[in-house]
Structure 1
Amino acid sequence: MATSVKTQANALLAGVSLAAAASYPWAQGSVLLDFVHHTALAATIGGLADWWGVTAIFEKPFNIAAPGTDMLRRRYADLQEGLTDFVCTDLLSPQNVMLAVENESFARLLTEHFSEPQNVDSARSVLQPLADEVLHKLNTQEAEQLLLAEVPRYLPSLHLSDILLDVAQRAIANNRLDGIWVLLLKEGKRLLHCAEFTALLRGMAQRAEAHYTQDSILRDFFVSGEAEKLLPYFVEALERLLDDLGDGSSELRRMLDNWLLAKLEELRHDIAFQNWINDKAAQLVLDNALALRAELRQQNSDWLFALAQEKIAELAQDEDKLAQTDSVLKKLLAQALELKQDALRQLISEKLAGFKRDDVIGKLQAKVGDDLQNIRISGTVIGGLLGAVLFMVAAMAERLVG
């Protein structure tokens, strides 16, 4: 198709050039031939100018090294850099990639992929040697020593105490502990009426009364045996206090929340608390890791694959977990894209450098050849039209002046 358009452009340029040359000897004696001559001459000039411009993009016209000719070869390094920037920054930027896949569920694709037996078998054939090696290494003394040494050293960098305190403070500030308060207050009211607590209160009342009436006949006369009658009122007052604690809008609850927030803020700067949290977390991780290690000693890689298939099947049936997993996978992809931008740029640059310059220019010329040849045709036609208009304007002006 490009050759056909180029042939048309060449034929048109040749035709107007012949018309300009053929009409020249008789142009002075005939207005019509003069018009044809000037129109064809202008079309020839326009066609030649556009032919020079189009040809100069890819090569040297007539092998003349004029300024601006053979542009792509001279600026090939800039072209490579521009293509690399366009692909990395505009086309394959992390934002554009994530925008393209935002409506795709990676988690569902994952579960659908591993629902096919042949895909499971393929994954097993690749991963089973690695899984067997991992299980074997987990049974070594070195792995246990590494675990015991590295976990306690790594955990402080996670700032677990700050995370726990942030969660607790936000929960208190946003009234997220109402459910816990309801359970605690319900249990508190139950304790107020249990026999053990009633007996405790009765004993305390009797001791207080005995201490109050000691060495006082008059006090003994007025309060003897009366203290126990106050116990129901005391219990009722405690119930009202618990109700106030359960009411998130009460003044007592507000005071308690503020006190808790202040205490949590104090703990944020308590080194002993931070060390205690890290020690407990390290112990928890180590206990579970060593327990898993002991369990793995009794298993082989088939157990791992069976467990993985079971979890994938459960994931496929739970829309909430699918959504959560998809969100995690997309976040990981976005992070990977951000981290690999420099590597992507280097890869594209190396790939472009691997192509021969003439091959790349040839491909570009083949892709845009038709449009460039159409520019030549348009230039020839527009040049001819302008020549015709200018000839008519000049002829009218000459008649008016004459």
Structure 2
Amino acid sequence: MRRVATGLVGAMAALFLGARQFQGMHPAWGYVLAFAEAGMIGGMADWFAVTALFRRPLGLPIPHTAIVPENKDRIADTMAQFLQDNFLIPPVVARRLRAMNLAGAAGDWLADPGKGGSTRLRDGAADLAAQVLESLDPERLGSQVRGGLFRQLDKLEVSPLIGQMLATAIADKRHMPVIESLVRWSGLTIEDNEELIREMIHRRTNAVLRWTGLDETLANSVLDGVYKLLAEVIVDPDHPLRGKVEEGLAKLADDLQNDAELRAKIERLKAELIANPAVSVWWQSVWERLRSAMLERLRRPAGAGNGQLAEALTELGRHLRDDPRLQHQINRFARRTLVGISVRYGNQIVRLVSETVKRWDADTITTRLESAVGRDLQFIRLNGTLVGGFVGVVIHTVDVLL
């Protein structure tokens, strides 16, 4: 396409020279001369405009040329700020999560033996349940077991416990599936908001880019780059973005244990969950059936209590699957938690985008953007040549008539 566009300008130059030779032979040659001259000028002007976007024309230090490589750091910061302001914000995250029934999905998984109930989950839950049961005063059990258990839960500050569990999971590399899920969710969020991205880029680009239609191409390039980045994160276990996310998770684990404000917020959410009547009814029914045998079964060697625990997990799954009020409470808790995470740690994710683009050299970003835009750049030159020629004919016609 470069050769076609350049060849068309050359053809205009040849036509111009030929028309000059025959100009006096017939008035029609004046129109041909005007067409060739204006087309040649239009083609050269658009060649200069297209070239100035990505490099300096003829290598000359002309001001306001090589726009993309000269402004790559600003472009990187703008991209990062755009992602921060339009995706990792509470309304967008909450809207995406509002359409997801996390509690219902978890209940369906737990209630169906063919979908869940792994040995690791059962063993871990068995150990935790045994510790909780042994921490309670046996004399307060019986008819007051529900109130006693909830009082113990109310006394237990869950934020440091969650922080310790998260830190242990990170140390044992058990958090990798969570990172992959977050990356996939980020990709789906961007995909659902592509029109918003295109509109924002269109509004923020200058008039030249909008006039030439390059704002749409630039939007396509930005979206393709982000999708490619997320795909690389999923495929490459050593990708730098994973490291940034791990840093964020590690900071979250530390904040859960040491940040007084975050701990207070989680305590308030825990209190709301405990106060839900649906939780009380569910726990009372389960506890009445399991309390007499659970401790003995859980502490038997070789996991002999797993059958009883599996029944409890299945019962929990059925309640999560079939109780809309319980689903609403848990989904709201999850939504508030993830919104808080996006607000607190989202800037660490988008910062990686900015830093990655800034690390690219000028030739790399120029080549990638120019290749992404592709043939359309040369069609600008072709259109400029032809449109310029027709404008020249119009001007010549007006000049002749006047």
Q: TM-score, normalised by structure 1?
A: 0.52
The answer to whether 1:46 aligns with 2:42 is: yes
Which residue among 9, 13, 27 is the counterpart of 1:17? 13
1:320 pairs, out of 321, 325, 341, with 325
- Distance in structure 1 (CA, Å) of the matches to 2:109 and 2:369: 39
What amino acid is the match of 1:299? L
2:369 aligned with 1:358, yes or no? no
Of residues 321-330 and 376-385 in structure 1, the stretch that sits farther from structure 2 once superposed is: 321-330
Shift of 1:154: 7.5
User: Match of 2:320, as an amino acid?
Assistant: L
CA–CA distance in 2 between the matches of 1:104 and 1:41?
Answer: 63
**Residues 16 and 97 of structure 1, relative CA distance in 2, 3 Å threshold:** farther
Q: Shift of residue 111 of structure 1? A: 2.7
Q: Which residue of 1 aligns with 2:378?
A: 373
Q: Which residue of 1 aligns with 2:298?
A: 299
Residues 363 and 112 of structure 1: CA distance in aligned 2, closer, same or farther (over 3 Å): farther
- Residues 51 and 34 of structure 1: is their aligned pair in 2 closer, same or farther, counting only changes over 3 Å? same
CA change 1:387–1:331 in 2 (3 A) is same
How far did 1:369 drift?
A: 2.4
- CA distance in structure 2 between the aligned counterparts of 1:92 and 1:347, rounded to whole angstroms: 14
Q: Match of 1:336?
A: 341
Point out the more displaced range, 15-24 or 70-79: 15-24
Q: Please, what TM-score do these two structures have when normalized by structure 2?
A: 0.52
The answer for unaligned runs of 5 or more in structure 1 is: 142-150, 156-280, 282-291, 398-402
On the 8 A contact 2:76/2:354 being kept in 1, the answer is: yes
Tell me what 2:94 maps to.
98
Partner of 1:60: 56
Q: Distance in 2 between matches of 1:32 and 1:104?
A: 71
Percent pairwise identity? 22
Q: In the TM superposition, what is the alpha-carbon distance from 1:61 to its structure 2 partner? A: 2.1
C-alpha RMSD over aligned residues: 4.1
1:66 is paired with a residue whose SS is: coil
Deviation at 1:90, TM superposition (A): 1.8
- Name the structure 2 match of 1:386: 391
Counterparts of residues 3-402 of structure 1 (less than 5 Å): 3=1, 6-115=2-111, 117=113, 120=116, 124-125=119-120, 127=121, 299-300=298-299, 302=306, 306-353=311-358, 355=360, 357-397=362-402
Q: CA deviation at 1:64?
A: 2.1
Q: Cα distance, 1:77 vs. partner?
A: 0.5
Structure 2 unaligned blocks of 5 or more: 136-153, 159-270, 272-290
Amino acid in structure 1 at the alignment position of 2:41: I
Instruction: Determine if contact 2:31/2:396 at 8 Å carries over to the other structure.
Output: yes
1:350, 1:307 → 2: CA distance?
48
Give distance in 2, aligned partners of 1:154 and 1:100.
30
Check the 8 A contact 1:124/1:305 in 2, yes or no.
Answer: no
1:255 alignment counterpart = none
Q: Is the 8 A contact 1:76 1:357 kept in 2?
A: yes
The number of residue pairs the alignment matches comes to 254
**1:129 to 1:9, Cα distance in 2 relative to 1, 3 A:** farther
Does the 8 Å contact 1:139/1:297 carry over to 2? no
Residue 298 of structure 2 aligns to a residue whose secondary structure is: coil
Distance 1:308 1:363 in 2: 52
2: distance between equivalents of 1:137 and 1:152?
Answer: 15
